Structure 1
Amino acid sequence: MHPKTVLITGCSSGIGRATALAFLDEEWEVYATARNPADIETLGDRGCDISTLDVTDPEDVERVVSRIVDEHGRIDCLVNNAGYAQFGPIEDVPTDKVHEQFDANVYGPHRLTRAVLPHMREQESGTIVNVSSVAGRLSFPGGGVYCASKFALEAMSDALRVEVEDKGIDVVLIEPGPVDTQFNQRAAEEADEEEIERSEAYAPFYKAFDDAQAVGEGGFWEEPPERVAEDIVNAASATKPAARYPVGTVASIAVLGRFVPDSLRDSAFGLLRKLS
Structure 2
Amino acid sequence: MKTVLITGTSSGFGKLLTEQLSAKSQYQIIATMRNTNSTNKTVRRELEKLQNVEVLELDVTSEKEVKAITELVLQKHQSIDILINNAGVFGGGLLEAHSIEQVQKLFDINVYAPLRLMKAILPSMRKRQDGLIINLSSMLGLFSIPLNAVYCASKFALEALVTGSYGELIQKGVENILVEPGSFPTELYKKTGTKADLQEVTDSYDGMAEQMTEYANNAVYGAVQKHKPDPNAVINKIIGLIEMEKGTRPVRNPIDQISGETFAQKVADDISELAQTQMKAYGF
Q: Deviations over 1:214-269 (max 9, x none)?
A: 7996624353322211111211221121111111333543676797xxxxxxxxxx
Structure 1: give runs of 5+ residues left out of the alignment: 260-276
Distance 1:26 1:196, change over 3 A: farther
SS of alignment partner, residue 258 of structure 2: helix
Q: Please give the alpha-carbon distance, in whole angstroms, between the structure 1 residues aligned to 2:170 and 2:217.
A: 42
Q: Please give the alpha-carbon distance, in whole angstroms, between the structure 1 residues aligned to 2:253 and 2:50.
A: 28
Distance 1:222 1:243, change over 3 A: farther
Q: Please give the alpha-carbon distance, in whole angstroms, between the structure 2 residues aligned to 1:76 and 1:234.
A: 16
Of 236-245 and 137-146, more deviation after overlay is shown by 236-245
CA RMSD of aligned residues (A): 2.3
Match of 1:64 in 2: 69
Match of 1:33 in 2: 32
Q: Please give the alpha-carbon distance, in whole angstroms, between the structure 2 residues aligned to 1:9 and 1:246.
A: 20
Q: Please give the alpha-carbon distance, in whole angstroms, between the structure 2 residues aligned to 1:184 and 1:248.
A: 16
| Residues 1-276 of structure 1: pairs in structure 2 closer than 5 A | 3-27=1-25, 28-37=27-36, 38=41, 39-47=43-51, 48-187=53-192, 190-191=194-195, 195-197=197-199, 198-201=202-205, 203-210=207-214, 213=217, 219-239=225-245, 240-250=248-258, 252=261, 253=263
Q: Deviations over 1:157-184 (max 9, x none)?
A: 0111111111111111000000111111
Q: Please give the alpha-carbon distance, in whole angstroms, between the structure 2 residues aligned to 1:207 and 1:256.
A: 32
Question: How many Å apart are 1:152 and its aligned residue?
Answer: 0.2
Structure 2: give runs of 5+ residues left out of the alignment: 271-284
Match for 1:249: what amino acid? Answer: Q
Match of 1:264 in 2: none
Q: Please give the alpha-carbon distance, in whole angstroms, between the structure 2 residues aligned to 1:180 and 1:122.
A: 39
TM value normalised by structure 2: 0.83
Distance 1:79 1:202, change over 3 A: farther
Distance 1:246 1:148, change over 3 A: same
Question: How many Å apart are 1:154 and its aligned residue?
Answer: 0.2
Match for 1:15: what amino acid? Answer: F
Q: Please give the alpha-carbon distance, in whole angstroms, between the structure 1 residues aligned to 2:35 and 2:218.
A: 28
Q: Please give the alpha-carbon distance, in whole angstroms, between the structure 1 residues aligned to 2:76 and 2:85.
A: 21
TM value normalised by structure 1: 0.85
Query: Do 1:10 and 1:16's aligned partners in 2 also have CA atoms closer than 8 Å?
Result: yes
Q: Please give the alpha-carbon distance, in whole angstroms, between the structure 2 residues aligned to 1:160 and 1:26.
A: 30
Distance 1:55 1:100, change over 3 A: same
Q: Please give the alpha-carbon distance, in whole angstroms, between the structure 2 residues aligned to 1:76 and 1:56.
A: 22
Match for 1:21: what amino acid? Answer: E
Q: Please give the alpha-carbon distance, in whole angstroms, between the structure 1 residues aligned to 2:162 and 2:254.
A: 15
Distance 1:103 1:255, change over 3 A: farther
Q: Deviations over 1:13-67 (max 9, x none)?
A: 0110011112212221000011121142211111310001111001111111111
Distance 1:152 1:216, change over 3 A: closer
Q: Deviations over 1:178-229 (max 9, x none)?
A: 0111111125x5448xx44132416233223245557996624353322211
Q: Please give the alpha-carbon distance, in whole angstroms, between the structure 2 residues aligned to 1:41 and 1:50.
A: 9
Query: Do 1:80 and 1:129's aligned partners in 2 also have CA atoms closer than 8 Å?
Result: yes
Q: Please give the alpha-carbon distance, in whole angstroms, between the structure 1 residues aligned to 2:67 and 2:191.
A: 27
SS of alignment partner, residue 87 of structure 1: coil
Match for 2:205: what amino acid? Answer: A
Match for 1:201: what amino acid? Answer: Y
Distance 1:123 1:71, change over 3 A: same
